[in-house]
Chains A and B, each alone.
Chain A
Amino acid sequence: MDTSVPSPFVNGETLKMFVGRRVRTVVQVQRNESGVLVVQSTDGHQLTIRGAPGAPEAPHYIEVMGIPDSDQSIRAESWTDFGENFDPVPFNGLCKLASDKYKYLFL
């Protein structure tokens, strides 16, 4: 995994700010359509994830690191199973704070 640049935390809303840049996000798996994961971001946007073979089934949360190729899809480089007990609400709050007001602590 070659992450030589910082990868910001994003949610559905802030994803569009980082198209083409490596990001990390936590999403909830909804279904797997022949290799393409359909997931829900922590702020309720539906996204597609390509390139995450072996990802767990719904309703697990996964952290995806990759490069968004549009404001609704990410090409994954790696993923981590965050289990079922992940709380999306504080993560969503973190994404908002980290991309805006407290960006200087993160990027």
Chain B
Amino acid sequence: MYGGGGQYDGGGGQYDGNGGAASANNLFGGGGFMPSQTTNTPEGGGGGGGFNKGRGSQTLMPLTVKQLMDASQTNDDKSSFAVNGWEVSTVRLVGRMLNKNERVTDVTFVLDDGTGRIEVNRWENETSDTEEMKLVNDGDYVIVNGGLKGFQGKRHVVAYSVRLVTNYNDITHHFLYCIYVHLDLAKAKRLASQPQANASTSTWNQAPLLNNQSASGNTAGKELTDLVMSVFHDPVLGNMEHGVSVDEVASRLKLSDAVARSTVQHLADIGNLYPTIDDNHFKSALNG
């Protein structure tokens, strides 16, 4: 449905941002971040330096206008921003279009999403751009994807995509997604700053982050969830049509039925597993 693959995808464990969309921020190469020279207090572990970058600068992040306005700046020339300590460049906003102004080479408008207003600019380089902008008008609900820019202290968005909302559930989804991403990043930041000598936690690949989501973040809980997930990822068991039963997990790992069941249930609650034929059989949502 979406042309670019640049979707923030917490469920798939990949913050793989760059779907080839012509983000204006690619011009900077995600730069503007000088690790050892920021005046902000560096986080322990993580990618080093004041702000977590990882692959985050290419990630499409859903935000409210209020979050955008509250975002801190990562360097002195005020050209890049960070939300929750994570550098952001490409954002998604959903709101109402106001004051659409068609100029010669671009279209400007104000986006009002109920949490604030921000100016948006959409350059029109090709006819596809012009055609796209003809479809949206004042008062319409639109989805805006673009780069966050600051200029002379004022923030605005340079959009590379402006689409009409056709399913209004998308609006609810966007705001819930903003909350989810906010929580996910806050948790990632907390985990990254904990001194965990954990071989599977690499900051490059964010996928293991999901395995860290045990209730209290302690290493014992994490190892248990890792073990259980490894049963589901076993090449023979994982490919069985109905998945793996809780009993199988318990007997393989020499766990009590209660422990196996509660771990499996926890993993199902956070979305790593899903039930198949009944409440006893699960498959992993992560592989394949």
Please, how many residues of chain B have a CB less than 8 angstroms from a CB on the other chain? 22
**A104: which B residues are within 8 A, CB to CB?**
66
Asked if B182 contacts A105 (CB within 8 A), the reply is yes
Q: Are the C-beta atoms of A102 and B172 separated by less than 8 Å? A: no
For residues 1 through 40 of chain A, which have their beta carbon under 8 Å from a beta carbon of chain B?
1, 3, 6-9, 24, 26
Q: Is the C-beta of B213 less than 8 angstroms from some C-beta in chain A?
A: no
Asked whether B169 lies within 8 Å of A93 as measured between CB atoms, the reply is no
Q: Report yes or no: B179 in contact with A6, Cβ–Cβ below 8 A.
A: no
| Interface membership of B112, Cβ < 8 A | yes
**Least Cβ–Cβ distance between A41 and chain B, in angstroms:** 14
Report if B114 contacts A (CB, 8 A).
yes
Partner of A105, one of B67, B139, B168: B67
Tell whether, in the assembled complex, residue A82 and residue B176 are in contact, meaning their CB atoms are under 8 Å apart: no
In angstroms, Cα B64 to Cα A90, docked, is: 17
Residue in A1, A63, A91, A106 with the greatest tally of chain B CB atoms within 10 Å? A106
Task: Flag if A91 contacts B67 (CB, 8 Å).
Answer: no
Inside 8 A of A93's CB, which chain B residues have their CB?
Answer: 176
Nearest 10 A-B pairs (CB), nearest first?
A82-B168, A91-B172, A106-B115, A90-B172, A7-B114, A6-B115, A102-B179, A86-B168, A87-B169, A94-B175
Is B167 close to A, CB under 8 A?
Answer: yes
- Which residues on B sit within 8 Å (CB–CB) of A98? 175, 179
Q: Please, could you name 15 A-B residue pairs with CB atoms under 8 Å apart, sorted by A?
A: A1-B98, A3-B114, A6-B114, A83-B168, A85-B169, A86-B169, A90-B172, A90-B173, A90-B176, A97-B176, A105-B66, A105-B182, A106-B66, A106-B114, A107-B115
Complex contact A97–B179 (CB within 8 A): yes
> Would you call B64 and A94 a contact (CB within 8 A)?
no
Residues in A with CB closer than 8 Å to B141 are 80
Which chain B residue lies CB-closest to A92?
Answer: B172
List chain B residues, Cβ under 8 A from A87. Answer: 169, 172
Min CB gap A53→B, angstroms: 16
B179 contact from A82, A83, A105, Cβ within 8 A: A105
Which residues of B sit under 8 angstroms from A63, Cβ to Cβ?
168
A66 to chain B, nearest CB (A): 13
**How many residues on chain A are close to B (CB under 8 Å)?**
28
A contact residues around B115 at 8 Å (CB): 6, 105-107
Asked if residues B179 and A3 are in contact (CB atoms below 8 Å), the reply is no
> Which residue of chain B lies nearest to A87 when distances are taken between CB atoms in the complex?
B169
Tell me the A residues contacting B by CB distance below 8 Å.
1, 3, 6-9, 24, 26, 61, 63, 78, 80, 82-83, 85-87, 90-91, 93-94, 97-98, 102, 104-107
Query: Which residues does chain B contribute within 8 Å of A24, judged by CB atoms?
Result: 114
Query: How close is A81's CB to chain B, nearest CB, in angstroms?
Result: 9
Nearest neighbor of B182 in chain A, beta-carbon distance: A105
State how many angstroms separate the Cβ of A22 from the closest Cβ of chain B: 9
Chain A residues in 8 Å Cβ range of B167: 85
**Chain B residue nearest in CB terms to A82:** B168
Beyond known contacts A7-B114, A86-B168: 13 more, CB 8 A cutoff: A1-B139, A78-B139, A82-B168, A86-B169, A93-B176, A94-B172, A98-B175, A98-B179, A102-B179, A102-B182, A104-B66, A105-B178, A105-B182
Q: Which residues in B have their C-beta under 8 angstroms from that of A91? A: 172
Expressed in whole angstroms, the Cα–Cα distance for A8 and B64 within the complex equals 12
B48 on the A face (CB < 8 A): no
CA distance A85 to B172 in the complex (A): 13
Whole-angstrom distance from the CB of A78 to the nearest CB of chain B? 8
How many angstroms from the CA of A49 to the CA of B283 in the assembled complex? 48
Residue of A nearest to B141 (CB): A80
B contact residues around A3 at 8 Å (CB): 112, 114, 117
| Residues of A contacting B172 in the complex (Cβ-Cβ under 8 angstroms) | 87, 90-91, 94
